[in-house]
Chain A
Amino acid sequence: MNDVLRVSDLTKTYQSGSRSLTVLHDVSFQLEAGDTCAIVGPSGSGKTTLLGLCAGLDSPSGGSVTLCDRNLGPLSEDDRARVRNMHVGFVFQSFRLIPTLTAIENVMVPAELQGRLDVKHEAEALLKDVGLEDRFDHFPSQLSGGEQQRVALARAFINRPAILFADEPTGNLDSETGEHVVDILFRLNRDAGTTLVLVTHDLELANKTNRVIRLKGGEVVSDSNPREMASASMNGGD
């Protein structure tokens, strides 16, 4: 029972009028502590939907998600929020920093939500770690995209989460900046021993994880290690 994330027969159906649209179909997988996993697939294949369900941001139509030994199914929205607060970190494609808070204040938010109000030093250390030691008091609008995403990384790690969900963390960045951010992501991840779930279009990025789950039309078409993936994508990947 050391699985950080256990997903069984996960199904998500959207009802639009009389038509129902199944965007995820019987998805199952498990991740252990320290695992790194990429979810890849063409646009509209259900990657973001899967991520949202795993993190307990949404409820599934069928199947179950167990996050850090808590079955999310019967939990209320606020109970799931508590689980996220204790165990989960997030990195978003469009950064999602809170525009009215400074860099350091943004980093402190998850800790403050835990009731830890004096985390200034931890936040400063994290910002230094991502190379932003002279930008503590800058607002998001005063930072470049890469800098904003690095602040978001620092924010994601302040609660030492058991698992980190990242939805296309480099999607809004140029490749060089993206690479820099990814390096930091993997370094922090390794240091903290965090499980990583990464949604990406970028095969090179996917290659850095030790497991790749490939979705197509809401179903898992392959679940393999990166070396197999690379050859598979040569013939007919996205």
Chain B
Amino acid sequence: MEATNMQRWMFRFARRDTRGNRGRLALFVSSMVLGVAALVSINSFGDNLRTAIDAEAQTLLGADMSLESSKPFSDNVESIVDSLGGIQSRRTSFSSMAYFPRTASSRLVTVRGNEAGYPFYGAIETDPPEAAEQYLSGDGALVDGTLMQQYGVVVGDSVKIGRSMYRVEGRLLQTPRESAAIMLFSPRIYVPLARVDTTLLAMGSRADYEVYFRFEDERDVEATAEPLRESLQEERVGIDTVEEERENWDEALTNLYRFLGLVGFTALLLGSLGVASSISVYVRQRVQTIAVLRCYGASTWSTVGVYLMQALGMGLFGALAGSVVGVSIQTLIPIILGDFLPVDVSFNISWPAVFMGSGIGLGVTILFALLPLLSLRNVSPLAALRSGVDTTALEKGWMWWATAAVVGLGTTGFAMIQAPTPLMGLSYAGGILVVFLLLAATAKGVMWLLVRRPPIRTSYTIKQGIANLHRPNNQTLMMVLALGLGTFLVTTMLISEQTLLGQITVAGAEERPNLIFFDIQPDQVDELIATVEQTGLPVMEDVPIVTMRIQSVKGLSVDEMRADSTVRTSWAHRREYRSTYRDRLTDSETLLEGEFVGAHSGSGPIPVSVEVGVASELEVMIGDQIVFDIQGIPVETEVASLREVDWRRMQTNFFVVFPDGTLDNAPATHVVMTRADSEEASALVQGAVIRSQPNVSSIDISLVLSVFDAIFSRIGFVARFMALFSISTGLIVLAGAVLISRFQRIEESVLLKTLGASRKTVLRIMSVEYLVLGLVSSATGVLLSVIAGWCIARFVFATELILAPGAILTIMGVVIGLTLIIGHFNSRGVYDRSALEVLRSET
């Protein structure tokens, strides 16, 4: 027949053939709706984010340009600042203890001393709003909102930083360049620059000096900045422009939402597998229809075409529904990610994102559907003459493999495009494959065991329930895959979190220090130790710290090395070293090579001990020379030993250790560690220290724990998001599988009824089936997550695995419970069908 008539017939037949199955097909495809929704929402949000960043680029920096240095500007830099002109506003930031007298509480914070003017673009948002201006005109301070809440601070309270006392004028809500996530690490307090206690800065604690510019002439800021970069770099002054700031944020946030996009893609893959699995069962139930068509002269491809059109229809429906759901979800993302974002993102539908998401959804669905559909070519017209000729499960043939290859390559390719880097995408695709294979293998193994070695003395009900999972056309594997993946994700996240938190707790346990004082000047050490001991706490460590940079390695200066593009330099060459001197190794250090020199007499290079990791970055071995720059004075050293350091210990660890007595004249600060067994004792000693020595900072390990907790609850969201999609997909596949096997189930139940089984028995058999399904899936997921957790603990955190059996059992319980509910909900009415009805109606 003519090609167009043929297509018209295929379309007509495909449409008619879905009658009475449309609900079922919609259910199959809904497992892929979530994946499309995830892709659409994330990419659409990403586009909005980019637009917002482009539009608000100036507010990100709050100025046209900024200079920044960790030292006060030199005369040279000051003259550059002068020559730049424009309107300027300076800011100095540093870490210090803030003390709130009313509550007698203290907390390490980042203090920002500001001048009027900044931000030139955008605004500091405060509560009350007028506080943003007011605090500059007196002794005012703006305090991070979360900090105020945690420490019970209210507007009007006093806060003491160093020797300066301020009145809290308002809470900081949003500020340029800072997101709420940064505030978690170190809460901000804004004070007028003129009122900063300058002795705090003089005493060697780290500070940041910045100047912000606003140019009223229409000058090209990039062109102005470019020629200055080199001379400013020599002075270790950073220069930042709106354009750069925009690019940085763009890159960081693009990576974030691309990663989230990968998450959505995983959901889509899982959903498409579910669609393929449902379609393969669905078309197997259509073998007789296809055989009749073949008898009457339908060609091989036209029958495949009919069902491909149905898949296309399903894909279109799924893509459309997914886009609608995705656009709705998009409105939720800013609520969840808000803390990480520097700008307010408005809601706009990004059509490219919608087309991409639905296009990918459609493509993936059709490709996955093609896998089972290709086997329709093998349906013989003979099947119309004889029942029981099942030819669909025959050999796969090159076309099947070609399609499978396209699926695999397409998936990998897309992951590589979507991931922040191609390599990440590649490892992601590999990881997914491994997890899928492991899940499938584990599930198969467990099912095999259940059949071969059923729990001894099983009742008929249990045996029958387990056997049901093996009924022809079952989708047990697919369901285990989806439910198992969901369980795997949640549990792995949980185990990693527990392990990491546990590690910090362990590090701070028992005899180990848990309260650290730092930025102590040499002449303050004795007084501080006395203060600590007066409150009854032990002084466990007193460590001197000298800051230095590397001037040259093996006779080659770092500046020369960096200028020479053929020589590799790394963070280890550029960083600021905080070194100590002592006469022995600590218990967190192991000597690997050479000899640890504890004391050194005046002549020749000083024998130092270098941490093995940094030694390999610097490419130095025993006997190599390193010259350090300590406050402008070159100090020659020689690598005498290499050490391994257990960084997990909550104590002072160092890359470079000098022999005792060699740095006596260098400007040092001290760190003192103690242990407070209660929160009250900790607050008491911190209060005592801040009153007598306000420049000394302290940090309590419980604070670190609470920060970790807060960060995890946000990262955990991503894992939960993924798991949610995955488990929902599993449940949808389950619902579809129950519906598709409904006729079989009714037949079974009618048969059992005829044989005299009560309603209760039939229900119990079904319950066993869903129970075992949920159990196998969740157990498979948990098993794999324990293995993954162990690997993470061993290779990422280098620690012992910590399990939380209670939480894991809860997760398993929820998965099993959901499986039972969804299973029973879709099986309702199966028992009540009469044999006659069965014979006539269901097909």
Contact, CB under 8 Å: A51 / B1: no
Contact, CB under 8 Å: A115 / B297: no
B283 smallest CB distance to A (angstroms): 13
Given the known inter-chain contacts A92-B385, A112-B9, A112-B13, please indicate yes or no for A100 contacting B297, CB distance below 8 A. Answer: no
A114 contacts chain B at the CB level, 8 A cutoff: yes
A22 contacts chain B at the CB level, 8 A cutoff: no
Q: How many Å lie between the Cα of A231 and that of B295 in the bound state? A: 36
A44 contacts chain B at the CB level, 8 A cutoff: no
Q: How many Å lie between the Cα of A82 and that of B8 in the bound state? A: 18
> Binary interface profile of B, 361-390, with partner A (CB < 8 Å = 1, else 0)?
000000000000000000011101111000
Given the known inter-chain contacts A94-B387, A96-B288, please indicate yes or no for A58 contacting B382, CB distance below 8 A. Answer: yes
B194 contacts chain A at the CB level, 8 A cutoff: no
A98 contacts chain B at the CB level, 8 A cutoff: yes
Contact, CB under 8 Å: A48 / B843: no
A121 smallest CB distance to B (angstroms): 17
A35 contacts chain B at the CB level, 8 A cutoff: no
Binds A, one of B14-22, B143-151, B245-253, B583-591: B14-22
B299 contacts chain A at the CB level, 8 A cutoff: yes
Contact, CB under 8 Å: B292 / A112: no
> Binary interface profile of B, 1-27, with partner A (CB < 8 Å = 1, else 0)?
110011011001100111111000000
Given the known inter-chain contacts A86-B297, A115-B2, please indicate yes or no for A100 contacting B21, CB distance below 8 A. Answer: yes
Interfacial residues of chain A within 101-147, with CB under 8 A of chain B in the complex: 101, 105, 109-110, 112-115, 117, 140-141
Given the known inter-chain contacts A77-B300, A81-B299, A96-B288, please indicate yes or no for A101 contacting B293, CB distance below 8 A. Answer: no
A99 contacts chain B at the CB level, 8 A cutoff: yes
Contact, CB under 8 Å: A110 / B289: no
Contacts of A92 in B (CB 8 A): 384-385
Given the known inter-chain contacts A100-B17, A100-B20, A100-B21, please indicate yes or no for A113 contacting B841, CB distance below 8 A. Answer: no
Given the known inter-chain contacts A48-B386, A92-B385, A96-B292, please indicate yes or no for A115 contacting B5, CB distance below 8 A. Answer: yes
> Binary interface profile of B, 443-477, with partner A (CB < 8 Å = 1, else 0)?
00000000000000000000000000000000000
Contact, CB under 8 Å: B380 / A115: no
Contact, CB under 8 Å: B382 / A115: no
Contact, CB under 8 Å: B16 / A78: no
> Binary interface profile of B, 558-599, with partner A (CB < 8 Å = 1, else 0)?
000000000000000000000000000000000000000000
Contact, CB under 8 Å: A58 / B380: yes
A219 contacts chain B at the CB level, 8 A cutoff: no
Q: How many Å lie between the Cα of A113 and that of B294 in the bound state? A: 10
Contacts of B6 in A (CB 8 A): 115
Tell me which of A78, A90, A110, A141 contacts B300 (CB under 8 A): A78
Tell me which of B16, B293, B295 contacts A57 (CB under 8 A): B295
Tell me which of A86, A94, A100, A167 contacts B16 (CB under 8 A): A100
> Binary interface profile of A, 59-86, with partner B (CB < 8 Å = 1, else 0)?
0000000000000000001100111111
B219 contacts chain A at the CB level, 8 A cutoff: no
A55 contacts chain B at the CB level, 8 A cutoff: yes
A52 contacts chain B at the CB level, 8 A cutoff: yes
Contact, CB under 8 Å: B5 / A117: yes
B708 smallest CB distance to A (angstroms): 58
Given the known inter-chain contacts A52-B382, A58-B382, please indicate yes or no for A117 contacting B296, CB distance below 8 A. Answer: no
Contact, CB under 8 Å: B843 / A110: no
Contact, CB under 8 Å: B380 / A57: yes
Q: Which partner residue on chain A sits nearest B2 by CB separation? A: A115
Contacts of B387 in A (CB 8 A): 94
B840 contacts chain A at the CB level, 8 A cutoff: yes
Q: How many Å lie between the Cα of A117 and that of B297 in the bound state? A: 15
B333 contacts chain A at the CB level, 8 A cutoff: no
Contacts of B12 in A (CB 8 A): 112, 117
B770 smallest CB distance to A (angstroms): 29
Interfacial residues of chain A within 29-56, with CB under 8 A of chain B in the complex: 48, 51-52, 55
Q: How many residues of A contact B (CB 8 A)?
A: 34
Tell me which of A82, A96, A101 contacts B297 (CB under 8 A): A82
Contact, CB under 8 Å: A48 / B297: no
Contacts of B843 in A (CB 8 A): 99-100, 140-141
Q: How many Å lie between the Cα of A92 and that of B382 in the bound state? A: 11
Q: How many Å lie between the Cα of A52 and that of B300 in the bound state? A: 18
Q: How many Å lie between the Cα of A112 and that of B299 in the bound state? A: 13
Q: Which partner residue on chain A sits nearest B387 by CB separation? A: A94
Given the known inter-chain contacts A101-B16, A141-B843, please indicate yes or no for A55 contacting B1, CB distance below 8 A. Answer: no
Contact, CB under 8 Å: A90 / B384: yes
Contacts of B294 in A (CB 8 A): 81
Identify the interface centre among A52, A86, A100, A117: most chain B CB within 10 Å of its CB. Answer: A100
Q: How many Å lie between the Cα of A85 and that of B9 in the bound state? A: 15
B633 contacts chain A at the CB level, 8 A cutoff: no
Given the known inter-chain contacts A81-B297, A84-B295, A141-B843, please indicate yes or no for A115 contacting B1, CB distance below 8 A. Answer: yes
Contacts of B21 in A (CB 8 A): 100
Interfacial residues of chain B within 246-276, with CB under 8 A of chain A in the complex: none
Contact, CB under 8 Å: A85 / B292: no
B218 smallest CB distance to A (angstroms): 70
B298 contacts chain A at the CB level, 8 A cutoff: yes
Contacts of B382 in A (CB 8 A): 52, 57-58
Contacts of B299 in A (CB 8 A): 78, 81-82
Interfacial residues of chain A within 140-191, with CB under 8 A of chain B in the complex: 140-141, 167
B213 smallest CB distance to A (angstroms): 74
Q: Which partner residue on chain B sits nearest A89 by CB separation? A: B296
Contacts of B17 in A (CB 8 A): 98, 100-101
Q: How many Å lie between the Cα of A37 and that of B382 in the bound state? A: 21
Contact, CB under 8 Å: B385 / A167: yes
Interfacial residues of chain B within 385-436, with CB under 8 A of chain A in the complex: 385-387
Contact, CB under 8 Å: B16 / A105: yes
Contacts of A141 in B (CB 8 A): 840-841, 843
B835 smallest CB distance to A (angstroms): 15
Q: Which partner residue on chain A sits nearest B16 by CB separation? A: A101
Contacts of B296 in A (CB 8 A): 84-85, 90, 109-110, 113
Contacts of A90 in B (CB 8 A): 292, 295-296, 384
Contacts of A82 in B (CB 8 A): 297, 299
Given the known inter-chain contacts A48-B386, A100-B19, A100-B20, please indicate yes or no for A110 contacting B9, CB distance below 8 A. Answer: no
Interfacial residues of chain B within 673-717, with CB under 8 A of chain A in the complex: none
Q: How many Å lie between the Cα of A114 and that of B384 in the bound state? A: 20
A180 smallest CB distance to B (angstroms): 21
Contact, CB under 8 Å: A57 / B20: no
Contact, CB under 8 Å: B295 / A114: no
Given the known inter-chain contacts A109-B293, A117-B8, please indicate yes or no for A81 contacting B298, CB distance below 8 A. Answer: yes
Contact, CB under 8 Å: A117 / B289: no
Contacts of A84 in B (CB 8 A): 295-297, 381
Q: How many Å lie between the Cα of A167 and that of B292 in the bound state? A: 14
Q: How many Å lie between the Cα of A172 and that of B295 in the bound state? A: 20
Given the known inter-chain contacts A58-B380, A90-B295, A98-B292, please indicate yes or no for A115 contacting B9, CB distance below 8 A. Answer: yes
> Binary interface profile of B, 783-795, with partner A (CB < 8 Å = 1, else 0)?
0000000000000
Given the known inter-chain contacts A51-B385, A57-B380, A90-B384, please indicate yes or no for A98 contacting B5, CB distance below 8 A. Answer: no
Contact, CB under 8 Å: B18 / A57: no
Tell me which of B289, B300, B381, B386 contacts A98 (CB under 8 A): B289
Q: Which residues of A contact B (CB under 8 A)?
A: 48, 51-52, 55, 57-58, 77-78, 81-86, 88, 90, 92, 94, 96, 98-101, 105, 109-110, 112-115, 117, 140-141, 167
Excluding A57-B295, A115-B6, 11 further A-B contacts by CB distance (< 8 Å) are A78-B300, A81-B299, A85-B296, A100-B19, A101-B16, A101-B17, A110-B296, A113-B298, A115-B5, A117-B8, A167-B385
Q: Which residues of B contact A (CB under 8 A)?
A: 1-2, 5-6, 8-9, 12-13, 16-21, 288-289, 291-300, 380-382, 384-387, 840-841, 843
**22 A/B residue pairs, CB under 8 Å, sorted by A:** A48-B385, A48-B386, A52-B385, A55-B295, A57-B295, A81-B294, A81-B300, A84-B295, A84-B297, A92-B384, A92-B385, A98-B17, A98-B289, A100-B19, A101-B16, A112-B12, A112-B13, A113-B9, A113-B296, A113-B298, A115-B2, A117-B5
The 8 closest A-B pairs by CB, nearest first: A85-B297, A115-B1, A99-B843, A115-B5, A110-B296, A57-B381, A78-B299, A100-B19
